[in-house]
A and B are shown apart, each in its own frame.
Chain A
Amino acid sequence: MKSQDYLNLSMKFKNTTFVPIAIHRLRDEFVRGDDNAYSDLYNLYAKELYAFGLSLRAKTDLIEDAIHDIFVEIYTHRQNLEKVDNLKYYFLAAFRNRLFFLIKKDSNSFEITENDTVDLQEKDSQEIWIEKEEENEKQILIKRLLSELTQNQREALYHRFVEKMSLEEIATLMNINYQSAKNLIHRSIKKLKSVTAFTLLLFILFCFR
């Protein structure tokens, strides 16, 4: 009986994303021409977009160009936002498109490859010990684990676990179907587990417990 309630709840979570009314108000003010709302939107999402760009391991100047470009674009095309329900998702999608376009243009900057693990392993030896000052071992391990994944897998995990996006949203954003998004997450998790460090991670995590 009780379990039934939980399941209903779980269904609700799957299909709806809650968007605070305040954000819709902000959006409407912006569309009506309010420049304060414009800077509020920037303060609300710019950091999020920047972090997403960094998680994709894009060059910072390209990340900044992409943020610049999409905010300049909506400034003169405010009505584009009029019917947008989930602003965060809208900005992520616009940013992603723009960033990938810029990366392509700047072709020699960053390659979407299976083994950009290399640079991270190089990093391991020196910088990781410096970084260690700032973050705990858990984070270092997570980083190492993630570097075992492909670009797509990392991105999917980022959206799912950092951005808290639903599989539907991830699928649309990454231009793949729902099943592929599901498989992508599944494979990433499986791969994480297969990596030796995973067991080590679990060991450490248990110690922290």
Chain B
Amino acid sequence: MFIQYYSYKADDYLTDDYFVDTMLEPTPESETFWKILIDENKINADEFISAYMTLKGLHENKPEVPEERIDLVWERITQTNRNKVIKIKRFQFIRYTAVACSIIVVIGLSLFTFMKTGKVDQNQSITDFARENVIHTKQPTNQIQLVSGNNTLAVEGVQAKLEYDANGNLKVNKKSVAVNQATNLVKEIQKFNQLKVPYGKRAFLKLSDGTSLWINTGTTVTYPTTFANNKREIFVEGEVFAEVYHDSKRPFIIKTEKLDVQVLGTVFNVSAYKEDKQTNVVLVSGSVNVKPKNGKSTIIKPNQIFAYTDQASTLRNVEVENYISWHDGNYIFHNEPIENILLRLSRYYNVTMKLPSNPSGISCSGKLELKDDLTLLLNGLSEITSMSFAVKDNEYRIKFE
């Protein structure tokens, strides 16, 4: 049967499966087989050998792979996987947590004059502490800052992750920090920590009771290292999305200038920006009690927004996703005046925008991916509306025509 090989030329060998397979992965049998054919002069040895050498040449012509690139790709892969796991977890918690709500709280402009009257005493409340501290730390900063007693810790980067364990030990971006000692001190004298996230930055904070807070840009959160036995209180100025650890013995209260939100273990979003006049509370599911400083408490139902100003408060149904999507890195709008969209973008990217004083009357619907470049997003808005923009002296000048 091997008679076929008698007349083989080099290229015939190279297209012969048995030849190729046994040359690349020889077995004792195959070696004897070819040896016999050659020794007995049954086949043309020159053709056989040239075929063999060509095959070896082709086989060894494997491109050189840079080892360090393989390692770098692996790092990238593990990074992506880690982010993915976090994303999936968050998604599940939005979908499946039975009690979930979202609250957006906005504080009036009149606040500043009021704050200066704040006084410190021995049993200083979290609200007073927060007010005091706002005055003390007026110096502008571009970094995320954790102020704990007399210690200030600045965190580099656009996003920071701070996690306390049950004993109040802190990890920043997965690394333990020396602030631990300082916080112990703070615990004794019952003071509070403040996390300041400037415009253009975001942070994630895990509190010592297991509650998770996603902190939006331009936000300050005041909280104790460990909570008291009978209640958990934090103070927010700006916007947070919170997953509150269930503890029926210690109600969780998010305090803001205009109202308090009391929950027993839920997920919610507090946004209290100084320059906004309206306080909004949006509930995803479950039930939450909102108590404005001047007014009676209101129970909010899922998919409802509680909008509070000094003049009036209203309750209506909304798409909650529009109010909480920021913590997943995008903003969703439905018929939103373009001015509001630009305001949110200017906060998120920490840029100054100059808008015409007359309202444009333009409304937009859609989703903006906040990981995209701001110019890209503005280009997109310009394309679908009559908006145009120019960058001058670090200012975005917007025109509608």
Which A residues form the contact surface with B (CB < 8 A)?
2-7, 9-10, 13-14, 39, 42, 46-47, 50-51, 54-55, 60, 64, 67-68, 71-72, 75-76, 138-139, 141-143, 146, 157, 160-162, 164, 166-167, 182, 185-186, 189-190, 192-193, 201-202, 205-206, 208-209
Q: How far apart are the CA atoms of A73 and B48 in the complex, in Å?
A: 45
Contact assessment for A3 and B10 in the assembled complex, using a CB-CB cutoff below 8 Å: no
Contact assessment for A138 and B27 in the assembled complex, using a CB-CB cutoff below 8 Å: no
Q: How far apart are the CA atoms of A6 and B37 in the complex, in Å?
A: 12
Contact assessment for A46 and B17 in the assembled complex, using a CB-CB cutoff below 8 Å: no
Contact assessment for A162 and B54 in the assembled complex, using a CB-CB cutoff below 8 Å: no
Q: How far apart are the CA atoms of A179 and B344 in the complex, in Å?
A: 61
Q: How far apart are the CA atoms of A75 and B1 in the complex, in Å?
A: 49
Q: How far apart are the CA atoms of A3 and B72 in the complex, in Å?
A: 51
Q: How far apart are the CA atoms of A209 and B24 in the complex, in Å?
A: 18
B44 on the A face (CB < 8 A): no
Q: How far apart are the CA atoms of A24 and B53 in the complex, in Å?
A: 34
Among A2, A10, A51, A75, the most chain B Cβ lie within 10 Å of the Cβ of A10
Contact of B61 among A72, A142, A189 (CB under 8 A): A142
Contact assessment for A209 and B58 in the assembled complex, using a CB-CB cutoff below 8 Å: no
B91 on the A face (CB < 8 A): no
Contact assessment for B17 and A189 in the assembled complex, using a CB-CB cutoff below 8 Å: no
Ordered by A's residue number, 16 sampled pairs between the chains whose C-beta atoms are within 8 Å are: A7-B2, A10-B17, A10-B21, A64-B73, A68-B73, A72-B77, A72-B80, A75-B84, A76-B84, A138-B53, A141-B57, A161-B24, A185-B14, A189-B14, A192-B54, A205-B49
Nearest CB to that of A208 among chain B residues? B53
Contact assessment for B15 and A9 in the assembled complex, using a CB-CB cutoff below 8 Å: no
B112 on the A face (CB < 8 A): no
Q: Which residues of A have CB within 8 Å of B65?
A: 47, 50-51, 54
Q: Which residues of B have CB within 8 Å of A182?
A: 15
Q: Which residues of B have CB within 8 Å of A185?
A: 14-15
Contact assessment for B59 and A72 in the assembled complex, using a CB-CB cutoff below 8 Å: no
The 9 closest A-B pairs by CB, nearest first: A54-B63, A10-B18, A161-B58, A205-B53, A50-B65, A13-B21, A142-B57, A189-B11, A6-B33
Supposing A39-B74, A139-B57 touch, asked if A64 and B69 sit within 8 A by C-beta, the answer is: yes
What would 9 more interface pairs be, CB under 8 Å, given A60-B69, A193-B11?
A7-B1, A10-B17, A47-B65, A54-B65, A64-B69, A143-B61, A161-B20, A192-B54, A205-B57
Q: Which residues of A have CB within 8 Å of B77?
A: 42, 67-68, 71-72, 75
B60 on the A face (CB < 8 A): yes
Q: Which of B6-44 contact A (CB under 8 A)?
A: 10-11, 14-15, 17-18, 20-22, 24-25, 27, 29-30, 33, 36
Nearest CB to that of A9 among chain B residues? B29
- How near does chain A come to B37, taking the closest CB pair, in angstroms? 10
Contact assessment for B81 and A75 in the assembled complex, using a CB-CB cutoff below 8 Å: yes
Majority SS at the chain A contact face: helix
Nearest CB to that of A206 among chain B residues? B50
B138 on the A face (CB < 8 A): no
Q: Which of B71-95 contact A (CB under 8 A)?
A: 72-74, 76-77, 80-81, 84, 88
Supposing A6-B29, A206-B50, A209-B49 touch, asked if A157 and B58 sit within 8 A by C-beta, the answer is: yes
- How near does chain A come to B71, taking the closest CB pair, in angstroms? 9
B62 on the A face (CB < 8 A): yes
Contact assessment for A13 and B17 in the assembled complex, using a CB-CB cutoff below 8 Å: yes
Contact of A142 among B14, B58, B72, B73 (CB under 8 A): B58
Nearest CB to that of B67 among chain A residues? A47
Contact of A161 among B59, B69, B72 (CB under 8 A): B59
Contact assessment for B53 and A46 in the assembled complex, using a CB-CB cutoff below 8 Å: no
Q: How far apart are the CA atoms of A106 and B100 in the complex, in Å?
A: 43
Q: How far apart are the CA atoms of A3 and B76 in the complex, in Å?
A: 53
Contact assessment for A46 and B70 in the assembled complex, using a CB-CB cutoff below 8 Å: yes
- How near does chain B come to A34, taking the closest CB pair, in angstroms? 14
Supposing A201-B54, A205-B53 touch, asked if A72 and B17 sit within 8 A by C-beta, the answer is: no
B55 on the A face (CB < 8 A): yes
Contact assessment for A68 and B70 in the assembled complex, using a CB-CB cutoff below 8 Å: no
Q: How far apart are the CA atoms of A6 and B19 in the complex, in Å?
A: 11
Contact assessment for B58 and A162 in the assembled complex, using a CB-CB cutoff below 8 Å: yes
Q: Which residues of A have CB within 8 Å of B74?
A: 39, 42, 46
Q: How far apart are the CA atoms of A14 and B20 in the complex, in Å?
A: 11
